[in-house]
Structure 1
Amino acid sequence: MNLFELNQAYRELEERDDLDLETLKDTLDAIEGAREVKLDSLASWIEKNKMQIDWVTEKVKDLQAKKASLTNLNKSLQGYMTQSLDDAGIKELQTKNHILKPRNYKASVVVDSLDDLPEEFKQTKTEVTADKKELYKVLKDGQEVPGVHLKPNRGTVIK
């Protein structure tokens, strides 16, 4: 395979979304070429994926902020609309596009001060988690702990 064909093969792989891990591995193994060229192409693919991950992460943050903003705006508009109808003493209003009916929902409980709250109304929650730092030390020293094992973690640094 010449360099152009290799690059084309990797581009086609990058564009496929239907590859499971085994198929990807088999496909990569089938691509002929020098190991250095193959691994360099994979490193470039990984860097491209990292850039896309960063972009998507930022986009998700932006979309979550937009969602929160729109949710808060809708709450404010809803409150204004309800207050306007209540102030006018209107029980139901039919517009060209909507029927508006103020109504009572279940009241919300607001705790102003947890310190002033009687003990019978307080809940204490506990969460049991594994002390992974201590487990790592013990397992690394060769001791065995039931229900736990060390999993090798190898990777390649791309510079």
Structure 2
Amino acid sequence: MKATEIVNAIEELLDRDDLDPKTLTDTFDSLHGELKDKLDSMVWTVNHIDDQLAPLKNQLERRDKLAKAIKTLENRQRSIKEYIRYIVDLSGGEVITDEHVIKSRKAGGQQLNRATLDESKIPAEFFEEQKPKLNTTKLKKALIAGEKIDGADLYQPRSVNIQ
């Protein structure tokens, strides 16, 4: 077998979906031809695979960079909207500019205010059995029901609606 025939046989083999290392080595062993031709063909194949891998790896790197850029922009947007919400809340909940009507509105139901939450003051009934862990769902329900619990309170989250 000549080097080009060996390369063709290797490429045909590599196109198989069910290729495992044992089949690959058995096939290499069964190829007829001089050892140097077999080795040259295998090295050519390795280099050819490297050529195929390079653009795929570049695509992965571009995808990772795009994902990072998207996350950065989303974080910037969230920060700016939070600041807008803060300013609008200080201005009474609605600001009309030349181009927009900006309203701060309620977003969803009440949420447990974790900024002021002091777990050391919460009664044991609101902790789950395991490592002491606060059951915030139960605590929130109790607060919504009107119970006064030292160390916890509710707040109404707000978001920004730009029109």
Q: TM-score, normalised by structure 2?
A: 0.48
Higher relative contact order (CA 8 A, sep 6+): 2
More strand by share: 2
Q: TM-score, normalised by structure 1?
A: 0.49
The structure with the larger Rg is 2
